[in-house]
Amino acid sequence: MAKIIDGKVVSQFVKDGVKKEVEALREKGVSVGLAVIIVGDDPASRTYVNNKKKACEAVGIISEEYALPEQTTMEELLSLIDRLNHKKSINGILCQLPLPKHLDEKLVIENIAPEKDVDAFHAINTGHIMIGDYSFLPCTPAGIMEMLKYYDIETCGKNAVVIGRSNIVGKPMAMLLLQKDATVTVCHSKTANLKEITERADILVAAVGKEKFVTADMVKEGAVVIDVGMNRNSEGKLCGDVDFSQVEKKASYITPVPGGVGPMTIATLMKNTLTAAKQQNAKRIF
Ligand code: GUN
């Protein structure tokens, strides 16, 4: 039976560290501020934004919410981002995705100042990740790496398989595992013979968006299974991409949903916002 990787415990550990540093900065007269933009009233996005605001409060980061109506224009959104890019008390800017269809997500991301891009979605920041020289890492993959470290899970020389190739999770996840000396395979919707690849994985990361996509027959005995999925089942209950009750019998470690990767994403956002504040105030701190 697999050991549970407890995202609540690891995220608390990360947030405790952030909180201490935020307090130390405050004693030096430096505050840490995060702007959270939400456009429209998608219920899932509203929940994520509320959780991010709660986490800010818990670690002493000042959060400012900008809730814009569904019909907001590109011009209005870019004008807000420009204002926040120049606002001294704001160190990080997060625009909750997905945006309503009429808005251009790529253009929105490219207009956030890279030094305030605490999601690490800007092309400059993704480029830094590619060469292994970065300030911020995308919150979900970095949170997963933090969990592996906390549980002392070796990545060096291991076969890691990532299912999913999104810019937010799959691609950066592969890059971070590669930087930690894993041999990485990225699978996606067009991958042939998926099971043949996943059953060789020592570390299997599922970021697909489909309930019970990863079944026990796809998993190697003793594998570490990381579930990034956030799906709703037929009863409306939150569930991941992995058939947890069957896969936990085969894996050595497994993340649950909820309580696995989700809390880590938010903890990393807190860490990135702190990093942004330290960089922007470097002359005042040292
Ligand atoms: N939507 C789903 N995940 C994320 C995230 O990590 N950041 C932002 N900005 N939007 C998201």
Distance CA(124)–CA(129), nearest Å, equals 9
Q: Do you find a cis peptide bond into 138, omega within 30 degrees of 0?
A: no
pTM comes to 0.95
- Residue 179 within any structural domain of the chain: yes
Q: Residue of the nearest CA to atom 3 in ligand 1?
A: 97
The pairing of strands 3-4 and 231-232 is unpaired
Instruction: Pull the structure tokens for residue 35.
Output: 């702007």
- Cα(175) to ligand 1 centroid in Å equals 19
Same domain, 101 and 199: no
Q: Give yes or no: 212 in active site.
A: no
User: Do 68 and 153 fall within a single domain?
Assistant: no
Distances in Å between the alpha carbon of 249 and those of 142, 220, 246? Answer: 27, 11, 6
Position 280 in a domain:
no
Position 13 in a domain? no
Say if 231 falls within a structural domain.
Answer: yes
* Residue 255 shares a structural domain with residue 169: yes
Range of the domain at 234: 139-262
Q: Which residues does the chain have with pLDDT short of 50?
A: none
Is 87 inside any structural domain?
Answer: yes
Q: How far apart (Å, rounded) are the C-alpha atoms in residues 50 and 237?
A: 19
Indicate if 166 and 207 belong to the same structural domain. Answer: yes
Query: Which pLDDT score, from 0 to 100, does residue 234 have?
Result: 92
Is 162 a pocket residue for ligand 1 (Cβ < 6 Å)? no
Taking the centre of ligand 1 as the mean of its atom positions, its distance from the CA of residue 267, in whole angstroms, is 13
The number of the ligand 1 atom at minimal distance from the alpha carbon of 98 is 1
Going from the Cα of 6 to the center of ligand 1, the distance in angstroms, rounded, reads 21
Residues 257, 179: one domain?
Answer: yes
Residue 208 is assigned to a structural domain of this protein: yes
Q: Give the whole-angstrom CA distance, residue 53 versus residue 139.
A: 15
Task: Identify the CATH number of the domain in which residue 44 sits.
Answer: 3.40.50.10860
pLDDT value at position 198? Answer: 98
Same domain, 164 and 101: no
pLDDT digits (tens, 9 = 90+) for 196-251: 999 999 999 999 999 999 999 999 999 999 999 999 999 999 999 999 999 999 99
Dist CA 109 CA 128 (whole Å): 16
Are residue 156 and residue 252 in the same domain, yes or no? yes
In this prediction, residue 286 carries a pLDDT of 65
User: What CATH number does the domain containing 188 carry?
Assistant: 3.40.50.720
Structure tokens at 76: 């209005």
Residue 4 lies in a domain: no
The letter for the amino acid at 110 is E
State the distance from the centre of ligand 1 to the C-alpha of 96, rounded, in angstroms.
Answer: 5
Q: Is residue 64 in a domain?
A: yes
The C-alpha atoms of residue 72 and residue 87 are separated, in whole angstroms, by 21
CA nearest to 266, candidates 63, 30, 20: 63
Ligand 1 contact, 95 CB (< 6 A): yes
Q: Which two tokens stand for residue 135?
A: 């300030």
Q: What is the pLDDT of residue 283?
A: 78
Q: How many domains does the chain have?
A: 2
Are residue 82 and residue 197 in the same domain, yes or no? no
Pocket-testing residue among 94, 105, 140, 270, ligand 1, by greatest number of atoms within 8 A of Cβ: 94
